[in-house]
A and B are shown apart, each in its own frame.
Chain A
Amino acid sequence: MSEHAGPATKTATPSTSAVTFDVVVVGAGPAGSAAALELARQGHRVALVERGAFPGAKNVYGGVIYGRILDELIPNWWEEAPIERWVTRRQTMLMTPTQSLTVDFRTENWGKPPYNGATAHRAKFDAWLASKAEEAGAELITSTVVTGLLTENGRVVGVRTDRPEGDFKAQIVIACDGVNSFLAKQAGMYPDGQVHHTTLGVKETLALPRETIEERFGVSGTDGVDIELVGGTRGIAGGGFLYTNLDSISVGVVLSLTELGKAKVRPEELIADLKRHPAIAPLVKGGELIEYAAHLIPEGGYKTMPKLTGDGILVTGDAAAMCLAAGIWLEGVNFAIGSGMYAGRAAAEALSNNTTDLSGYERRLHESFVLADHRKLKGAPELLLGDRVQNKYPAMICDLVENLFQVTNPEPKPGLRKLLRRGTKQHGIRLRDLAKDAITGFRAYG
């Protein structure tokens, strides 16, 4: 997290026709709706402004939502949330163009309340969460783009939108406008006014009949599968995923933007690669493309977070780089909901106490998983996006296993240690680095 905010870019003062609310929340993604819901519940006048025609209209993500944080916001949420399937089977697949090694875990426990992860369509999920905020009394204003902050004496006092007479005045603005947050930048929350460390996520949704999904993925009812893929991206730092929805599947890749630029490949080609991979092809066969989408992901983690609290403004979710994208984890929605909820609570507290002190926000974040997880995993992005983890280890491990299982009569079976030595040498990995990475890994994930 940066302690020193950069200079705020040019802002305007509110016009006389401005409409007044206690709080304006910008962006009706998971973070914004959670913030608005908290505030409305506590009786404050809150506007939830969204540029899409409806919440979730353009929002993109892989497909798995971890619901634990929702327990606190909407008890028994699983009874009403628009869920596709409950993830009861998680796989991590290491792959090279011709090989794959899968760790496959399944548990019945995740298939019943209070559940663990679920696949859901964002268009439905975001709309549902926003409708909860509306029911509680928040004013949801869609098809409206926030174009800038309004300030008075350096303090944020509202936002300007692209509507005629479109100024909002408010005591607090909560920026939930997602990755590359224009508001956080304008408020000077990013050290040099620039957001770094974004990766590109692209995904395809392929329609498949329900029964086919159940057969291929070995699940039934509303149980589903979440597969994380490591190493299938032509050496470009990143990873892939494959999730099951009710009658479609999502296949996608998450890619380093700089490397993608250098490699001069189109992300669609990488998805096409994945779909042709011998381990994936049978799973996606016959799927009819119904959606293609791309979106940026803030992937730098804790070290790249902006200043979270400003004078009259709070920054949450992807806008604050709170997405946890560390290899086997790709979690952003739960962090967005958590931070939005805490921002809402802190804002409500300030309004009720009639102060401008918003420090309750960061206090809550530190006390909760939101920043605790990020602090703990702050070394993970560098490790995971490094060349060894990205390229060399999957190939080495796959070869290792291939050699281990390969029957080489009449030669005797090689020992594991010998194979490891041979593998590291062949893949240009120094044992010293392997040990170093293992330690970093243990520190990051342990």
Chain B
Amino acid sequence: MIALIPVRDGTLPAGADEACAEASGHALLIGSGTHAAADALTSLRHAILAEAGDYAPAAWATALASHFRSSEPPYVVSSPPAHPGGQPYNSLSAPTPTPGPSTGVVHTPGQLWITDKSPGQGLILPASPDGRDLAPRIAFALDIPLLAGAIEIHRTGARLARWGSKTMVDVEVDGPFVATLVPGVRTVERASENTREKLNWPEQDAQDAEVLEVLPPDPKTADLAEAPRILGAGAGLTKNNGKEAIELLEKVADALQASVGATRVVTDAGHASYQRQIGTTGVVVDPELYIAFGISGAAQHIGGLGAPKHVVSVNTDPSCPMTAMADLGIVTDATALLEELAKEITHE
């Protein structure tokens, strides 16, 4: 198995390291600034770098597919310049087949993929916005199945999150497949060293959207990203009177010297600003204390949560993922509890 990681200007997408770890440290980085991006991959053991320029999912998919398909290495692999900080690149003048990782993928330098029907040939992308863009296009171009939104991937299949992470489905695949791994689902083992090689990238005629600009994260999110204590608002807290609930939560947060975060359901409903959204497509936080009010604990939310020392979940559902991962799970109505808490804390 190999991770396929789209890179923009040397920036890794959310979940890149986990995808790489899931593929036992093997990754193909594609895009712009792949060298620098590889430096930031802690689990990387072996990298193939494809400097393919600006993000272009359709064009990349077409080119990668023909590359993966061919039995002969179609592109000349050049000796890249030495990269400071990184490991020396492989010399590829005399490609010697190296045994694949234990997962069974056969990997030859310069030849990424052998499309016979043998199992264990998984292509793993992070389920980040860019990864989710690219994965279906590659699966389509290769005409192989896509296992989207996986929380665990193995040689012959994956475990997929469905219904907003309320259920999970185990699927098995006969033959090669593409999968996307939800960020935040696993820990990342650090690799001691890595090797790199470079893949020449052909001219491509794009059928892609044109990127006009990338807007940086709102500076207002900085306080949340750094906050040591966070109270999180979920749909279970805001479903009846969202505005009031958030105001109360802010009051309680003040008293506890904490910040207020929210799930995407809450920000989408307009109860809290987007800068408050915690998760893979929101702010990535790493507090010491996280108190979740009416949050189900979808993988995309947990994916931005870091590793809090203390987690409390207030939820009417005793077996939702958020409560399952909490140190203290309180099974009760979140709004009512918050009201009581406000009374108590403002007394103090």
Contact = CB atoms under 8 A, between A and B. Distances in A.
Query: Does A touch B (CB under 8 Å) in the complex?
Result: yes
B90 interface: no
B316 interface: yes
B55 to A, nearest CB: 41
A289 interface: yes
A40 to B, nearest CB: 36
Nearest to B333: A292
Contacts of A288: 318
Interface residues of A, number: 4
A288 B319 CA distance: 12
Interface of B: 316, 318, 333, 336
A190 to B, nearest CB: 30
Nearest to B316: A289
A357 B336 CA distance: 53
Nearest to B332: A289
Contacts of A292: 333
The 4 closest A-B pairs by CB, nearest first: A289-B316, A288-B318, A268-B336, A292-B333
B331 to A, nearest CB: 9
4 contacts: A268-B336, A288-B318, A289-B316, A292-B333
Contacts of A268: 336
Nearest to B319: A288
Contacts of B318: 288
Interface in A267-296: 268, 288-289, 292
A289 B333 CA distance: 10
A207 to B, nearest CB: 11
A316 B333 CA distance: 37
Interface string A287-308: 0110010000000000000000
A288 B318 CA distance: 9
A268 B316 CA distance: 15
Contacts of A289: 316
B144 to A, nearest CB: 41
A292 B333 CA distance: 10
Contacts of B336: 268
Contacts of B316: 289
Nearest to A268: B336
Nearest to A289: B316
A144 B333 CA distance: 30
Nearest to A292: B333
Nearest to A266: B336
A289 to B, nearest CB: 6
A9 B182 CA distance: 58
A266 to B, nearest CB: 9
A28 B17 CA distance: 55
A288 B336 CA distance: 17
A268 B339 CA distance: 15
Nearest to B317: A288
A268 B332 CA distance: 13
A289 B331 CA distance: 10
Instruction: Give the most central of A268, A289, A292: most B CB within 10 Å.
Output: A289
A292 B316 CA distance: 12
A268 B333 CA distance: 12
A22 B96 CA distance: 85
Instruction: Give the most central of A268, A288, A292: most B CB within 10 Å.
Output: A288
Interface string A143-159: 00000000000000000
A53 to B, nearest CB: 15
Interface string A243-287: 000000000000000000000000010000000000000000000
A272 to B, nearest CB: 11
A268 B336 CA distance: 11
Nearest to B318: A288
B20 to A, nearest CB: 41
A252 B164 CA distance: 33
A268 B335 CA distance: 14
A288 B315 CA distance: 12
A289 B318 CA distance: 11
A367 to B, nearest CB: 45
B266 to A, nearest CB: 21
A189 to B, nearest CB: 33
B33 to A, nearest CB: 50
A171 B336 CA distance: 48
B236 to A, nearest CB: 13
Nearest to B336: A268
Contacts of B333: 292
A54 B333 CA distance: 26
A398 B318 CA distance: 39
B212 to A, nearest CB: 36
A292 B318 CA distance: 17
A288 B316 CA distance: 9
A34 to B, nearest CB: 32
A289 B317 CA distance: 9
Interface string A103-121: 0000000000000000000
A289 B336 CA distance: 15
A292 B240 CA distance: 13
A268 B340 CA distance: 14
A268 to B, nearest CB: 8
A233 B236 CA distance: 29
A295 to B, nearest CB: 16
B237 to A, nearest CB: 15
